[in-house]
Structure 1
Amino acid sequence: MKAIQADQFSSGFDQVRVIEQEKPAPGPGEILVRMQYAPINPSDLNYIHGTYASALEGVIWNINHGTPAFDPERAIPCPQPPYILGGEGVGIVEATGSGFMAKRLKGKRVAIAASPIGTWGEYAVTQARRALPVPEHVDSEQAAMSFINPLTAYIMLREVLGVQPGDWVLQSAAASALGKIVIKLSKVYGFKTINVVRSDSAAGQVQALGGDAVINQSTDNIQAEVSRLTSGRGVSHALDCVGGQTGSDFVQCLGLDGALLCFGTLSPDP
């Protein structure tokens, strides 16, 4: 089978190539999926560039101590290359290992989350618990993006930040797939969004989705606009996937007891 492999971490894409390898076999509780679609997410680029691995090396696992205690065995999301890329996708379950959950999926079209990567190939193996049967009315291209962005948005908003109805949420890259999901979730849970973009076309997309306010940072001052929109109070929550100057601006936009959640690390700047 053909697959796309990262041979080692690289700032570019010179270490990414198409390889031929044996079709993998599912183990206990696993499924073998004949892939149909697998998206390219910003998180995939972090696996190519080694961003996650370098970030985890500085994590202090025990917050009661002031010295890093990085344990490679706990860094499950960051395997070391070479590895097959791709964090999610959709396909048909061709074979299964033992276990009820796995066997009940055989022959079905499923959306899968990788373990943690490995969907950029003709076949992928993952745990059955990381697969969802796809309803007939959902097309495969849409189903291929069922995990990473929707779950990231939901967990950040509801589980980490605990956003409440009426709260203002400031977000960068608002016209991205994840940004659009945040806007959709705002209509379900009753919070308001201030959406930062970089172009008029992106601003139009956000407005069409129902974003409460849009800031084009190529022409507008983020801090001034947020202050105006919130009557000087600032926002209670902010989501930044860019970093650099945008992240610094977002810190200045927080109100009393406000919280900024940084993710994605799209900018190379701190």
Structure 2
Amino acid sequence: MKQIRFDAFGPPSQAARCCEVPAPGAPSAWEVLVDVEACAVNPADLARLAGRYGELPKLPATVGLEAVGRVVDCGASVHDLAVGDRVILIGNDNWCQQRRLAASQVFKVAPELDPLQLAALKVNACTALELVRRHATLERGAWIVQTAPLSGVGRAVMQIARHDGLRTLNIVRRSDAIEPVRAAGGDAAIVDGPDLAQAARAVTGSAPAMLALDAVGGDGVARLAKLLEPGGAIVNYGMLSGKPIELGCDELIFRGIGLKGFWLTQRLSRMTHVQRNALMAEAVELLRLGVLRAEVAATYPLDAVGRALRHVDEPGRSGKVYLLPNGPIDSGAGDRQRASPVLAAADPL
């Protein structure tokens, strides 16, 4: 079968290669065998390939935080899953055609749901749910401040916040991003800069903001603190700037601003099986209701992984890039799949 592997850390599109490896074989008593249908490509996947992630594997290794697939075989002791069931793969290392894994490491979903949307739930939607609903008690109408609103997590934050009756103040780097943010569901968008606090007050008036979600780091975090009420919290979950966080001691000491980090991989590892499944069910239900929806940029076969990863790095890319390990799938984005010339094009090995 085909699998994406890498032998050294480096530029993701150069490090990742498509290999032929032995098939995983029949499942043991408590395992299932899954044909992988779709894998969403995330910044964390690229960071792992580049050697800049929070945990790095022993090389050679494979990669892939997200996937959805169909069960093709069940072990003798597996009774709550059946051949043909569609499942979200909870574990990592999913960029391959087949996975054999413990039945406890998959989450069964309704067959009618779009597999491309399901393949983007574990990272973006679950991160957004944890950020919006777990870090502060917010009343309806309250403002949430966030950076990187057009990222996958940022879009999910806007969608969940609107569903929960919350409002989002979205900090962008360029004025031409304001309208796309509003179109994506943001209540307001302002450009970062020295006058950020004044611009924010003009939008929010006297309404308090107690929570800021940051994916960037750097000196912008100090400006975020100025937008929060005393006792507010900043949650950092990304490193887009590549720079250390800057925050004045006076914000922490005199205004009681809290600063903490969030890493979904660590969070999931500390959950019980029941807690993790409850989080997945929460995300799937929001997808079923039409609250959550990820934009689809393009789909690629495994042997075009280099092109897929270069696409992820393209400036101005809108939507997620997916790998389809076993070819085109039936989904709401089917027309986009058929229109993409890269589906039949492979990178030279």
Superposition TM-score, scaled by structure 2 size:
0.62
Letter aligned with residue 142 of structure 2: D
- For residue 14 of structure 2, what is the aligned residue in structure 1? 14
Contact preservation (8 Å) 1:227, 1:234 = no
After superposition, the Cα gap between the structure-2 partners of 1:215 and 1:31, relative to the gap in structure 1 and judged at 3 Å, is: farther
Compared with structure 1, are the counterparts of its residues 119 and 167 closer, same or farther at alpha carbon in structure 2 (3 Å cutoff)? same
Instruction: Tell whether 2:192 aligns with 1:214.
Output: no
**1:137-179 deviation digits (Å, cap 9, x = unpaired):** 3222222112111111111221233443232211111112211
Instruction: Tell me, yes or no, if structure 1 residue 44 matches structure 2 residue 13.
Output: no
- Answer yes or no: is the 8 Å Cα contact 2:74–2:81 preserved in 1: no
Q: Aligned residue for 2:112?
A: 137
Of the candidates 219, 236, 241, which is equivalent to residue 267 of structure 1? 241
Match in the other structure for 1:225? 199
Letter in 2 for 1:132: F
Against the structure 1 CA distance between its residues 49 and 31, is the aligned structure 2 distance closer, same or farther, given a 3 Å change threshold?
same
Q: Give the gaps of 5 or more residues in structure 1.
A: 54-76
Q: How does 1:114-133 map to 2 (within 5 A)?
A: 115=91, 117-133=92-108
SS in 1 for 2:232: strand
Which secondary structure state, in structure 2, belongs to the residue aligned with residue 14 of structure 1?
helix
* Among 81, 84, 101, the residue aligned to 1:104: 81
Amino acid at match of 1:86: G
Match of 1:164 in 2: 139
1:91 and 2:66 aligned: no
Question: Which whole-Å CA distance do the structure 2 matches of 1:164 and 1:144 have between them?
Answer: 31
The alignment's TM-score, normalised by the length of structure 1, stands at 0.78
**Equivalent position SS for 1:110:** strand
Q: Could you tell me whether the CA contact under 8 Å between 1:33 and 1:95 is conserved in 2?
A: yes
Q: Secondary structure at the residue paired with 2:230?
A: strand
Q: C-alpha separation between the residues in 1 aligned to 2:220 and 2:99?
A: 37
CA contact (8 A) 2:170 2:186 kept: yes
Alignment partners' CA distance in 1, 2:40 and 2:190: 28
Contact preservation (8 Å) 2:200, 2:227: yes
Amino acid paired to 1:37 = A
Cα distance, 1:11 vs structure 2: 5.6
1:14 deviation in Å?
3.5
Unaligned runs of 5+ in 2: 245-349
Contact 1:242 1:264 in 2 (8 A): yes
- Displacement of 1:196 in angstroms is 1.9
Q: Specify whether residues 80 and 254 from structure 1 end up closer, same or farther in structure 2 by C-alpha distance, changes over 3 A only.
A: farther
- Shift in CA distance, 46/223, structure 1 to aligned 2, threshold 3 Å: farther
Which digits, 9 at most, give the CA deviation of each residue in 1:203-226, with x for residues without a partner? 323212432111234x88433322
Instruction: Output the CA distance in 2 between the equivalents of 1:28 and 1:243.
Output: 46
Sequence identity, in percent?
30
Query: Could you give the per-residue CA deviations for residues 76-132 of structure 1, whole angstroms, max 9, x where no partner exists?
Result: x6543432111111221122335335x62322222222x2x2111112234323423
Tell me the CA shift for residue 28 of structure 1.
4.9
Q: 1:111/1:90 Cα in 2 relative to 1: closer, same or farther (>3 Å)?
A: same
Deviations 1:183-236 (A, max 9, x none): 11112222211012344554323212432111234x884333223334477631
1:223/1:11 Cα in 2 relative to 1: closer, same or farther (>3 Å)?
farther
CA contact (8 A) 2:29 2:78 kept: no
Question: How many pairs align?
Answer: 243
Aligned equivalents of 1:249, 1:265: Cα separation in 2: 16
Which of 226, 232, 237 is the aligned partner of 1:252?
226
Instruction: String of CA shifts for 1:18-68, please: whole Å, max 9, x gaps.
Output: 222112244453322211210111121222233333xxxxxxxxxxxxxxx
TM-aligned CA distance change 1:146 to 1:167, over 3 Å: same
Structure of higher RCO (CA pairs closer than 8 Å, 6+ residues apart): 2
Aligned-residue CA RMSD (Å): 2.6
- The equivalent residue for 2:156 is 181
Partner residue, 1:70: none
SS at match of 2:179: helix
2: CA distance between counterparts of 1:46 and 1:98? Answer: 38
Aligned pair in 2 of structure 1 residues 259, 35: CA closer, same or farther (>3 Å)?
same
Q: Is the 8 A contact 1:164 1:189 kept in 2?
A: no
Distance 1:226 1:81, change over 3 A: farther
Matches of 1:220 and 1:137, distance apart in 2: 48
Q: Secondary structure at the match of 1:38?
A: strand
